[in-house]
Structure 1
Amino acid sequence: MLVFLSKTLVLLSGSLCGASVVDPVPTFDHRDPVTGEILKCRKCPPGTFMSAHCTATTPTQCQPCKNGHFTDLWNYLPRCLYCSDLCTGNLEVETECSPTTNRICRCKEGFYSADDFCIRHTECGPGYGVQTKGTQQTNTVCETCPEGYFSSSSSAVDLCVKHQECSSGQSVLLTGSAYSDTVCGACNRENPSSSSGGGGTT
């Protein structure tokens, strides 16, 4: 039994040692215009393009992308791709153009993308607060201020604020609403004079 296992391990190790290493460089088929032979040509790496096909005696010729151009995949393109236009208006750069990446724009802070336009986030008006802040992909979600809370201004970021509670010795002069805070103050009451203005007797 031990002899059998030893022979099996020897055979397996021999198979592994003799296994071919997979070439990590992707290839494509190309017919040699001179010989008509189908060749396995190597693709060009990202950041380059194919300047000449491989032949039976020479490998694929690759050249680097010029400024403002890119390729982000292994390829056999005859030229690099143009980077997207500059990010203007309400757009800002998320990823800059490089030999291996296209330029990617995104909406600026305070704007979101809708139908290929950057639209300013909606402001929640008085009586409303922000339930969910807007992102670069979504608009603001507003909610009516619940009982005991208020908002007196328009904002795309502010939440409803809790009404203040009058401290000891103060009274509610004006009850708060969804649009305004509670107004507190001291009630000053004048006591009527107990003295009269009559003259004395002689």
Structure 2
Amino acid sequence: MLKRPYLVMFSMIMMTQPMPFTEALDCRIGEYEVDGRCCPSCHAGYRVRDTCNTITNTFCLACKTGTYTPHPNGLKECLQCKDCDPGSGFVTRRECLTISNTVCGCFPAHICVIMKGDDCELCEPHRVCPPGQYVKSQGTERSNTICEKCQAGTFSPNGTLGQCLPWTNCTAQGLLEEKPGTDTTDALCLPGRNPQLRLIRISFIVVSVFITVITFILCALYIRKKKPLKSDLENASNLHPAVHLLCISAADKEGSETTQKGELLPLKEKMFKIQDNQEP
């Protein structure tokens, strides 16, 4: 039996001995390392069922539906295909194959925030323009919506319009403006008449009546002085239609008065004759 001092010395010598070093295998292209040896890889679309040994090569199985392997590999299980969830704003661009994963895009009215190649990994809804703004540029899968403020005199009630709407012109419609418009609301008009427009209409009527009266008086004076025949007035073509009618009306009135006077004169003469005959 070794004595204790010799036992301690033997332990120290064993601890200082170099440990064996295993170098990593440098497998060739189309091989993978397993258990200290290089085995042939399975092709894309396949997985490893049994690894190789000194007698047999790697035994591969095709990936099932819903799984895939995109490259030559030594995987024991195929990779799970990606699901393009509509609830997250995704839409399937290309279905999953045994050699490639599903390719997702964004649902309409969404923008892809994280893009890898032709596959989108994160979709977000387009920007929504607030009231008082309009949609200057509609968003796409690669760009967001651009909003612009309404200019003075226009409004946008919900921010979804392609252009802002002009305020209602109450004065042009003969109405009163109770409340001016803002960038989100239209001008509010009262159903009552506009005093300014009413004044203009009254002035027009007064002027029209005045012109009519003056024209009628001038026609009457002309007829009394010149005494033209009614046929001459009717054939006059250089008069305004309204003046023409007024002059004919005045001529009719003048003729009527003359006729009445002519009828009264013989009646007076008869009365005087009757009185003369009755005297003794």
The alignment's TM-score, normalised by the length of structure 1, stands at: 0.56
Structure 1 residue 75: deviation in Å? 1.3
One-letter identity of the residue aligned with 1:136: E
Q: Which has the higher helix share?
A: 2
Is the 1:69–1:98 contact (alpha carbons within 8 Å) kept by the matching residues of 2? yes
Deviations 1:37-61 (A, max 9, x none): x432121122110111122333222
One-letter identity of the residue aligned with 1:74: P
Q: 2:133 aligns with which of 128, 133, 137?
A: 128
Give the structure 1 partner of residue 44 of structure 2.
46
Q: Which has the higher strand share?
A: 1
Which of 1 and 2 has higher RCO (CA within 8 Å, sep 6+)? 1
One-letter identity of the residue aligned with 1:41: C
Residue 157 and residue 102 in structure 1: after superposition, are their counterparts in 2 closer, same or farther (change >3 A)?
farther
Is the 1:49–1:63 contact (alpha carbons within 8 Å) kept by the matching residues of 2? yes
- How far, CA to CA, are the matches of 2:131 and 2:80 in structure 1? 48
Give the structure 2 partner of residue 79 of structure 1.
77
1:65-76 superposed matches below 5 A: 65-76=63-74
Residue 156 and residue 123 in structure 1: after superposition, are their counterparts in 2 closer, same or farther (change >3 A)?
farther
Deviations 1:23-47 (A, max 9, x none): 994222233xxxxxx4321211221
Q: 1:140 aligns with which of 129, 132, 145?
A: 145
1:110 matched to 2:109? The reply is yes
Matched residue of 1:130: which SS? strand
Matched residue of 1:196: which SS? helix
Give the structure 1 partner of residue 33 of structure 2.
29
Residue 143 and residue 105 in structure 1: after superposition, are their counterparts in 2 closer, same or farther (change >3 A)?
same
- How far, CA to CA, are the matches of 1:84 and 1:95 in structure 2? 11
Give the structure 2 partner of residue 195 of structure 1.
212
Percent identity, aligned pairs only, is: 26
- How far, CA to CA, are the matches of 1:157 and 1:134 in structure 2? 14
Is the 1:25–1:42 contact (alpha carbons within 8 Å) kept by the matching residues of 2? no
- How far, CA to CA, are the matches of 1:111 and 1:46 in structure 2? 33
Matched residue of 1:56: which SS? coil
Residue 156 and residue 67 in structure 1: after superposition, are their counterparts in 2 closer, same or farther (change >3 A)?
farther
Residue 62 and residue 143 in structure 1: after superposition, are their counterparts in 2 closer, same or farther (change >3 A)?
same
Q: Which moved more, 1:58-67 or 1:138-147?
A: 138-147
Is the 1:123–1:154 contact (alpha carbons within 8 Å) kept by the matching residues of 2? no
- How far, CA to CA, are the matches of 1:144 and 1:93 in structure 2? 36
Deviations 1:127-177 (A, max 9, x none): 4233443333654231214569x564645583x4798xxxxxxxx959x99
Q: Which moved more, 1:191-200 or 1:70-79?
A: 191-200
The Cα RMSD (Å) is: 4.4
Paired residues, number:
157
Unpaired stretches in structure 1, ≥5 consecutive residues = 1-22, 32-37, 164-171, 181-186
Matched residue of 1:74: which SS? coil
Matched residue of 2:213: which SS? coil
Is the 2:134–2:147 contact (alpha carbons within 8 Å) kept by the matching residues of 1? yes
Matched residue of 2:212: which SS? coil
Structure 1 residue 80: deviation in Å? 0.9
Matched residue of 1:44: which SS? coil
Unpaired stretches in structure 2, ≥5 consecutive residues = 1-26, 115-120, 174-180, 186-196, 221-253, 258-280
